[in-house]
Structure 1
């Protein structure tokens, strides 16, 4: 009897909600705007009243308001003049990282007409970030016995902008001994290599000071610089060589902190201090550098934090082997996180 009474009470609201839902009408036409990022709060985006075919004077009477899913209200509706304005500062890099297209979607609800209009706003990248290096000074140690034509990897510059506003190239300050080559990795990421053009003589010049400039293609062009300090060394004519170019490992996401995942190894054909190899992870931005640690002596890769498959399924790093007098080589580390039933 109690169950039957409960049904009588609950059925009318359910039926009412179903009928009300069937009355809502979603407009097939979608309104779309394009605006640059970083516009000031209150800046004009578009005339919603005109684009919806509504008179401004009745917009407020119809109960028009913005409905969005996110916590932040990026846009606001001015019912006095029918315009859509910026509700709060929009940072494209924060919203969409380096995605080619950045779209914000929300609805305009007209309560009295029981209509919902879909609105899409494309956020256009502006050149608000210059390329930057993680290190202000890059140190290289090169033996005077190094043959001309030898290439030396340099640190990348990073630019969170996209398209022409992102990193486009590098330039090296004029000098007698070195030139610069620029290569592209996957996804168009550009990285520089320093090329020895003329043999070095430690007795003639033991230190070389160079300037590396990274530039983008925005208007105006923005750039960032890093100093290169080249120290000329005696006699170390063999660089460390890794036993394999890529080290891979599959790791369950519930692996304990401090677990050794793999061990990299490089050998050096020199003797004495020139054959002593130490290992380093190449500096990388983001969370990956906080999750793993490499033992510089043994080459063991350890976990500093718990892994999370849902947060990142794959981690890629570069490891560098450096001998006693500074010759270096690199290999890659691929860590695949295996999903567990957590």
Structure 2
């Protein structure tokens, strides 16, 4: 950028062009380190003085400092040892969610020589999260005339760790009526399904209690469980039917809390208990469950937390309708968040001091 400067004692303007690429000479290769997450404050990451070709005491003498665009400073320089150390405990899941690699990039500025050295620190995942289900217990009803081979999708578990530390397998407790079949999604995700392998008999066994276990691949292995309670009921030949297969709604991100966003509706022709329909979320992300609320009797979906376009532009979810005899139907719902102008432009300035003749 050309900056006009007025000289003392005259009106002549001189254009000085300051081009960052000419003033700051960065090394061609990055300095790379790795550090496990959840380490204590002051954990030694690497000998930055040695990698810069300096002695520890030169860090202060040559005004060496970290230049970072992040709002939170994760690392600091130890002028006594010449090392790069952690400022506090680093939570990989909070920093990078479930990205395959978690990289933190910043620059080291050697101010007296006007040189920038790029640094990249990889945060290594540790097995500090247990697989969890959104529910502790799943209760539903099945008609005794349900045909063997019928598949019942089960809630999937979630593990915030990555790689082998993430959720790896499911197991269903041994029983003569159901077996577990895990379907692989296109993105490698696992979707557990329970398959009926022999006819149900309400007179023989009216209630089935099962346990679904989700395990990760860490050492030692961590696991979470979901209790499943199945009530066998008499015949009912008409399941609920949603008015739409998919529901779509668009709402501005500043919509007030508790706003009714849309209503899903499923009809059942039966009278009495068999015709009473209740609604539940099915297989939705923990974050979505925290933001939205579903009235199990009216099918009304409202927001109980603020929406943020910059965080999520779209919220997909699945609603399950179940009548009093246990027959079910499912419909998809997509809530699209509309952006409003609620963020001011952010200017990031890195300043250095040097003499210009």
Asked if Structure 1 and Structure 2 have the same fold, meaning a TM-score greater than 0.5 normalized by the shorter chain, the answer is yes
Q: Deviations over 1:187-221 (max 9, x none)?
A: 33322121111112222222222111101223333
Match of 1:319, SS? Answer: strand
Residues 1:312 and 2:305 are matched in the alignment:
no
Distance 2:256 2:71 in 1: 34
> How far off is 1:139 after superposition?
1.4
Distance 2:287 2:173 in 1: 33
Distance 2:20 2:332 in 1: 59
Alignment of 1:187-266 (within 5 A): 187-253=187-253, 259-266=259-266
Distance 2:245 2:168 in 1: 28
CA 1:116–1:186 in 2, change beyond 3 Å: closer, same or farther? same
Q: Which residue of structure 2 aligns with residue 3 of structure 1? A: none
> How far off is 1:98 after superposition?
0.9
Q: How many residues in Structure 1 have an aligned counterpart in Structure 2?
A: 335
Bigger fraction of residues in helix = 1
Alpha carbons 1:104, 1:120 under 8 Å: kept: yes
**Which structure 1 residue ranges, 5 or more long, are not aligned?**
1-5
> How far off is 1:72 after superposition?
2.9
Distance 1:294 1:74 in 2: 39
Distance 1:21 1:118 in 2: 14
Distance 1:19 1:246 in 2: 54
CA 1:20–1:169 in 2, change beyond 3 Å: closer, same or farther? closer
Alignment of 1:57-206 (within 5 A): 57-185=57-185, 187-206=187-206
Match of 1:183, SS? Answer: strand
Distance 1:24 1:185 in 2: 48
Distance 1:20 1:298 in 2: 61
Segment drifting more, 74-83 vs 315-324: 74-83
Match of 2:205, SS? Answer: coil
Q: Deviations over 1:222-265 (max 9, x none)?
A: 21112212222222344323243322223344556555443323
> How far off is 1:67 after superposition?
2.8
Distance 2:238 2:182 in 1: 25
Segment drifting more, 191-200 vs 38-47: 38-47
> How far off is 1:31 after superposition?
0.6
